[in-house]
Structure 1
Amino acid sequence: MKFEQYYIDEGIKTSISKLGYKKPTDIQFKSIPLILKGEDVLAIAQTGTGKTAAFAIPILHLLQERKIVGRPDGVKCLVMAPTHELALQIDGVFKTLSQYIRINSFCIHGGVDQNPQIEQLNKGVDVLIATPGRLFDLVSQGVLILKRVEILVLDEADHMLDLGFIKDIKDLMRHLPKKRQTLFFSATINEKIKKLAYSLVSNAIRIQVSPKDPVAKNIDHAVAFIEMDDKRFFLEDMIKDNPEKKMLVFVRTKVRAERVKKALDRVQIVSDTIHSDKLQEERERTMQRFRKGNVKILIATDVSARGIDIPNVEYVINYDLPETAENYVHRVGRTGRGSQKGQAVSFCSTEEQELLSEIETNMGKPISRIDISKSDYQFTLNISDAKADSWQSLLKEEELDLKKKRKKKKKK
């Protein structure tokens, strides 16, 4: 079935056509008719399969149809997302799809002044995309009224639970009408999310796409056994072997992200970092540079793994293996999106082998091993432009930087 055959507003069809989309993806094919009928939906699908459009297209049609017959103003659809980046991305999809209809969307998130957001809300918003923190702030202040919400979407709801928002989500329900349509979309599901979902929805229809394989088929996976202190040499080697490739490098902590960037700086490789210690404006600028290809190497913590659609990421490098098998799914899903091919390469140290076993169990199959002989391993260390350096020297540099910053603060 083609998009032009769907019973949806012609303006939305025009936007879809201009994007070059002709046929729906599996998750869109299964979700759109149910949402158009007003059903509650719990959808689990691989990342990169078009989940956002799967709910945005039918929601825009429903709201446009109701607006034509003169419904009262106010937020009619609330979409909750776990991170600023994902919320902004979802808003971008809604704005693109609603260019030729009378529905508007707006995104609110923390890290920026709330007053301009309040001003925009007072002007009138149909679709509100929000991160939990800022949403709860504005609701508790009484400046955001949600009593006219007809559709609630929780995107990557399991991650919101991981971030500790379960109580806030339940408290929020008191501010929403009991009679509403509720949609859950996620790449993974567990008992916690099931329990929350079924407590909020009414006779939800569960959709699961590719349940046997949680990761997209067009991603090639490989793992190399590299000791923790040697990983930077192999990352350097990989980048130099693929100078034009866009790479997303995942590390476990914010401190690690900055250390890896410094290691790359020392061998004249340009990179950037994104993590929760950075201001929202910085994070947005960084994502923009990476999307445009102005920066080819982005070092990230798991804050960037959830649902972010970054075009043409050829490689995802798991510099550190993730703490959970589910996070592996979200990380590698940043490559191989849609019909594109992607490469996921993991560096596994001796102390991470247990994590690797959990990831392989979750995938239901082993990850291909990159065979590195002792001589090749040593050769990679020897040819590095930083061969004379060590992590200890990097740590000393960091300590010096911190001392300098402290002195500057004292002077001020």
Structure 2
Amino acid sequence: MSKKRKRDPETVGSNAEVSADSKPQKSKKDKSKPRENGDERPASPEKVTFASLANVTETDPSTEENVAEGLNDSMEVDKPEDPKSIGAGSDGKSGSKKEKKKKKKDEDLSTGHLSILSKFDKYRAQILESGPKTVAKEDVPEEPLQGLHPLPQPAQVPVQKVDPNSALPSYLSQPTTVPTSQRPPFSSFNLPDLLLHRLENLGFTDTFPVQSALLPLLLPDNRPPSTPKADLLVSAATGSGKTLSYLLPILASLINRIVPHTYALIIVPTHELATQVQRTAHSLAAGTSLKISTAIGTRSFEVEKDHIIANDTGSTGADILIATPGRLVEHIRNNPQFTLRHLQWLVVDEADRLLSQSFQDWVEIVGDELQKPFPIEDGNIGFDITSVGLRAPKRASDIVRKVILSATMTRDVGRLAGLKLRRPQLIAVDDIGGHEIPIDGSDNEDQDQDQETADKGLRELNSLPSTLEEHYYPVSNATQKPLVLAKLLSDSNTKSGILIFTKSNESASRLARLLELLFAKKLGKKRKGNSTKDWSIAVSTSDKRKKEISANTAKFKASTIDILISTDLMGRGVDLPNAQLVINYDSPRNEKDYIHRVGRTARAGNKGITWSLVEDSEARWWWAGIGKVRRSNSEGVSKESAPELNDEALEIYEGALEKLGREVRGS
């Protein structure tokens, strides 16, 4: 029996096979000393290689199983054999070598198994991550899923119709329409008792559609004043009650005010409309301490200052200021005591006209004034609103509520941008019974509308009251138009309340004098019960003094004047309750002017009539533009025949023209 030799450390973990005749020799370069007690030196983990795993590139489940089985088999430790049995084989020398080789292999695996297992886990993880995601199937019983019932879903928001060719923002292309069938009483709204009593005394019990739509949105609620609210754009026909719809919320919010300041600013285009709004506000605010004043240029600048600001002379200033844009800019620039820092309401009435004209850049100037930061002493308001999660306002623009109104609301984004609206919403009330307004502003059934009119509809919302009766009279000979009008009026049963619009001051004065001369000759049939009465005619144009214009308006309302002839000066914002007939002697410049002209009648649900005398050269333009304006009246425009002119009427007309010529020449 041969003795066991000490193992060469360099042979531990090597992949070279030991031949049967070779004898292990200690390397001369190995200078390491053998351990004491004859312990064999274990193999270094760094020298142990696992080539079979390094060559694995695919994550085949069978490959992983075979590798694992090989490791398990190789890690089994054989029981030590009886020394007597060593070399008992037929070939003692060969058996001894095989035994040594086997023991060497077992010792290599036993000493490096920790390193091999760690490397195996590392390589296995890398292979699983880099290879295809295949997982060996295992017979694992599936557990029933629990708690995965479908959650209840909220109702889907109806899809809004969007014009893919429109560049308008959604609030302009998709206005909120208001049905006209609902007219709840004022008592159903959260109005102060004082205002309800005033409305009842003035004869107002039920709301108009525009009022029923705006009051819930504008009346004060329980939210803090600094809570942001949406600004409103309102498109409603003339005479639909827009003035009352914004005055009531303003008065309701200021009725308990303590310190007088300019809390509400109402901007209008003309001093006539300003006076009318002031009169309505005074009627509603009777019995309160609120002060309402105007800045419209009808009095000197120094006198006006004492009425709109608080000063040492005892004036309490104006809580509600109604101003024209030019005069307002003058106060902002030249009145250092005037400020808008306390402003809570900004109302722009007849917005299409105010925005289409510069008026000394009032939009930019008012906007800059609202952006001025509050003084430091105004920062302490007595209550820290930030404690309830609100942001403290730093300027008036943070709290002011803007209401923009017009009968022909512009949808020009460029014009509206200067107003710096906050979360704007467009409310459209046009007596269409609550039907949706098409994006192009035209009827769905009307497919013949030309592209030019459709493009205009994208920019503006136009509508006419349902109680308006429209008549179209063609005039083939323009030189005889005054005679045609005189004949129509003479044959009509309308005795007063007639408003006639012309294109210029000269045309208004000339027509007024010709009608006086023609009526003096008793042209046409005599009016029943009024055969001896002459027509009373007045002219209100821009070349007249304001006092004269106001006097004519008052006389017309009192029916002292039968016929009032004017330019578009009287076409906006003037309430003429007794106007029964509106006549377009000269065609308006556009659809907007037509809507505002005829809007002087058929107001507040009353009936009204309009005549349009159209020359042949204007007929095509008239029908393509004005004829396509959206109407709630199903009858539309009635095309009539011009009256026949006999020789006697023509002779009277020739005499009137001759006399007018002599008067003009002064002969």
Using the size of structure 2 for normalisation, the TM-score is 0.56
Quick one: percent identity of the two aligned structures? 26
2:233 alignment partner, SS class: strand
Number of paired residues? 393
The equivalent of 1:46 in structure 2 is 237
The equivalent of 2:409 in structure 1 is 189
CA distance in structure 2 between the partners assigned to 1:283 and 1:57 by the alignment: 29
1:369 to 639, 659, 662: 639
The equivalent of 2:617 in structure 1 is 351
Q: Residue 121 and residue 354 in structure 1: after superposition, are their counterparts in 2 closer, same or farther (change >3 A)?
A: same
CA distance in structure 1 between the partners assigned to 2:357 and 2:500 by the alignment: 22
2:421 to 201, 211, 222: 201
Q: Residue 384 and residue 137 in structure 1: after superposition, are their counterparts in 2 closer, same or farther (change >3 A)?
A: farther
CA distance in structure 2 between the partners assigned to 1:238 and 1:111 by the alignment: 39
Q: Residue 193 and residue 117 in structure 1: after superposition, are their counterparts in 2 closer, same or farther (change >3 A)?
A: farther
The equivalent of 1:26 in structure 2 is 209
Letter matched to residue 31 of structure 1: L
1:378 alignment partner, SS class: coil
Deviation, 1:52, is 0.3
| 1:13-412 alignment, distance < 5 Å | 13-37=196-220, 39-65=230-256, 67=257, 70=258, 72-122=259-309, 123=315, 124-142=317-335, 144-165=338-359, 167-176=361-370, 177-179=396-398, 180-192=400-412, 195-196=415-416, 199-210=419-430, 214-226=463-475, 227-240=477-490, 241-242=492-493, 244-266=495-517, 267-268=519-520, 269-357=535-623, 358-363=625-630, 367-372=637-642, 376-379=643-646, 382-383=648-649, 386-389=652-655, 391=657, 394=660, 397-400=663-666
Letter matched to residue 161 of structure 1: L
Rg comparison, structure with higher value:
2
Task: Report if the CA contact (8 A) 1:313-1:335 is conserved.
Answer: yes
* 1:338-394 superposed Cα distances (whole Å, 9 cap, x missing partner): 12110011000123224412101223696211123xxx4223x73379423365753
Deviation, 1:242, is 3.3
Deviation, 1:19, is 1.6
* 1:129-156 superposed Cα distances (whole Å, 9 cap, x missing partner): 1111221122221253222211100000
CA distance in structure 2 between the partners assigned to 1:197 and 1:18 by the alignment: 41
Stretch moving more, 384-393 or 353-362: 384-393
Q: Residue 149 and residue 257 in structure 1: after superposition, are their counterparts in 2 closer, same or farther (change >3 A)?
A: same
2:500 alignment partner, SS class: strand
1:137 alignment partner, SS class: helix
The equivalent of 2:447 in structure 1 is none
CA distance in structure 1 between the partners assigned to 2:511 and 2:289 by the alignment: 47
Deviation, 1:264, is 2.1
Deviation, 1:194, is 7.0
The equivalent of 1:407 in structure 2 is none
| Higher RCO structure (Cα 8 Å, ≥6 apart) | 1
CA distance in structure 1 between the partners assigned to 2:548 and 2:299 by the alignment: 11
5+ residue gaps, structure 2, are 1-183, 221-228, 310-314, 371-395, 431-436, 438-442, 444-461, 521-534
Q: Residue 384 and residue 132 in structure 1: after superposition, are their counterparts in 2 closer, same or farther (change >3 A)?
A: farther
Letter matched to residue 359 of structure 1: I
Q: Residue 28 and residue 247 in structure 1: after superposition, are their counterparts in 2 closer, same or farther (change >3 A)?
A: same
CA distance in structure 2 between the partners assigned to 1:297 and 1:169 by the alignment: 37
Deviation, 1:2, is 1.4
Bigger strand share: 1
1:388 alignment partner, SS class: helix
Using the size of structure 1 for normalisation, the TM-score is 0.89
Deviation, 1:312, is 1.9
Deviation, 1:31, is 0.5
Deviation, 1:200, is 2.2
CA distance in structure 1 between the partners assigned to 2:537 and 2:325 by the alignment: 30
Q: Residue 253 and residue 162 in structure 1: after superposition, are their counterparts in 2 closer, same or farther (change >3 A)?
A: farther
CA RMSD of aligned residues (A): 2.3
5+ residue gaps, structure 1, are 402-412
CA distance in structure 1 between the partners assigned to 2:418 and 2:368 by the alignment: 16
Structure 1 residue ranges (4+ consecutive) displaced by more than 4 angstroms after TM superposition = 390-393
1:248 alignment partner, SS class: strand
Q: Residue 197 and residue 61 in structure 1: after superposition, are their counterparts in 2 closer, same or farther (change >3 A)?
A: farther
Letter matched to residue 116 of structure 1: V
